Amino acid sequence: MSAAGATLVQLTDTHLLNGGALLHGRIDTWARTTAALNAAARFFPDAVLVTGDISDRGAQVYSRAAKLFEQAERELGCPVIVVPGNHDPAGSVGAAFNRKRLASGPNPADTVHLVDGLRIIGLDTHGFRETEGRLSGRQLQWLLAVLKTPAPRGTVLALHHPPIDSLLPALAGRGLARPEELAAVLAGSDVRGILCGHYHLPATGSLGGIPVWIGPAVSYNHDLFASEGSTRGLDPSWFSVIKVGAGQLSATPVQVAIPVAAFTREVPVPARQPALL
């Protein structure tokens, strides 16, 4: 970490598949994830955050993914901090991940890391095959206890489901349930920012005055001009560079420099039915 603060690289929604399978029949998500990790070296990160949906629809990729992230830790010289998303079954982000954690919470992926005085807390927001994400009462009590002791350079939260809604109508109501409970825990704390994924669309907001950054996806991103009642995926791959300095937090989306096939895919979203996005 420099005197100016910490540099964090955020990857989200990698949607890895078994073998040589391609996402939607055309996207090599392993190649994109590897390319994003390689590109991260350009920014000399103090930590890499992977904010959920490691696999696509529960594909059993976790052993291979853990090895990839462990290799990235060695090559980048920084921790890779991983939380699960709604495509990741309960317990899938376990002991093979987050090897540099200082402490764990009620779930295996609830972790505490300290990077030169900046505390990074990962939270499992559950939601596998559910419409919304959630934090349990035990998790909120654990988080409250951790935050009672301020970190030297403050705290950043990493979770999958955003505590704010999406601009895309098809994603409305699919973020974190009861965000006011999280806001109450964070009130008066040293939390500097909340980093999320899930929407496949970059966005900013705030929760109780704390900045929220929703990172664009490594796999594909959503088109805001899709027809009503559907979502449409666009091909470009992105990650984020987060700067956390004295009283400041900035987030910059970075496009992965890989060949891009211009494609779209219509995905109908049935009314009142849970969907894995």
Question: Is 1 inside any structural domain?
Answer: no
Query: What pLDDT shows up at residue 225?
Result: 85
The C-alpha atoms of residue 207 and residue 176 are separated, in whole angstroms, by: 12
What total of structural domains would you count in the chain?
A: 1
Beta bridge partners of 47: 8
Residue-averaged pLDDT of the chain = 92
Tokens of 27: 């996207």
The C-alpha atoms of residue 52 and residue 62 are separated, in whole angstroms, by: 12
Question: pLDDT > 70: what percent of the chain?
Answer: 91
Question: Is 277 inside any structural domain?
Answer: no
Beta bridge partners of 242: 8, 251
Whether 268 shows a pLDDT value over 70: the answer reads: no
Alpha carbon distances (Å) from 167 to 54, 164, 199: 23, 10, 9
CATH number of 25's domain: 3.60.21.10
Question: Is 274 inside any structural domain?
Answer: no
Query: H helices then E strands: how many in the chain?
Result: 4, 15
Cβ atoms 231, 199 nearer than 8 A: no
Cβ atoms 84, 109 nearer than 8 A: yes
Tokens of 28: 């090599």
The C-alpha atoms of residue 74 and residue 79 are separated, in whole angstroms, by: 9
Question: What's the chain's Rg over C-alpha atoms?
Answer: 17
Q: CB under 8 Å to 41, separation ≥6 — which residues?
A: 75, 76
| Tens-place pLDDT, residues 92-134 | 999 999 999 999 999 999 999 999 999 999 999 999 989 899 9
| Tens-place pLDDT, residues 173-231 | 999 999 999 999 999 999 999 999 999 999 999 999 999 999 999 999 988 887 776 77
Query: What pLDDT shows up at residue 25?
Result: 87
The C-alpha atoms of residue 77 and residue 106 are separated, in whole angstroms, by: 28
Question: Is 189 inside any structural domain?
Answer: yes
What residue numbers bound the domain in which 233 lies? Answer: 6-268
Question: Is 86 inside any structural domain?
Answer: yes
